[in-house]
């Protein structure tokens, strides 16, 4: 499973890169993205440093989109798909990299 600030695997984890370690949410982003277990405390979302946020709200959540991604992975692996077909065919698409804007 990818980190929401690196890759978008579902619409409920979508973030847009502003600059440096700063990201902004979209209308589809889960409101609990601040406490998502796949984030790092060193990034900022909507101007809030996650390390500071986690002092009062632990990072222990995942989104329904992330759960669906994991369940799909498990089902694909349980079906016995060989590694070559998995990586080049039926495997979960890894997601879309978060677009990085040129820093000015």
Mean pLDDT lowest among 29-33, 44-48, 68-72: 68-72
CA–CA gap between residue 72 and residue 62 (Å, rounded): 15
Q: How far apart are the first and last CA of the chain?
A: 31
Condensed to tens digits (0 to 9), the pLDDT of residues 36-69 reads 999 999 999 999 999 999 999 999 999 999 999 8
Query: Considering the chain, what is the average pLDDT of its residues?
Result: 84
pTM: 0.78
Taking residues 65-75, what's their average pLDDT? 87
Q: Could you tell me how far CA 68 lies from the centroid of its own chain?
A: 13
């Amino acid at each position: 499973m990818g980190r929401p600030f690196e890759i978008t695997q579902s619409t409920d984890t979508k973030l847009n890169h502003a600059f440096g370690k700063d990201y902004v949410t979209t209308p589809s982003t889960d409101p609990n993205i601040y406490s998502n277990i796949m984030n790092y405390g060193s990034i900022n979302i909507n101007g809030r440093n996650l390390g500071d946020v986690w002092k009062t709200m632990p990072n222990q959540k995942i989104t329904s989109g992330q759960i669906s991604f994991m369940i799909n992975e498990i089902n694909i692996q349980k079906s016995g798909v060989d590694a070559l077909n998995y990586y080049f065919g039926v495997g979960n698409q890894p997601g879309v990299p978060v677009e990085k804007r040129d820093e000015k």
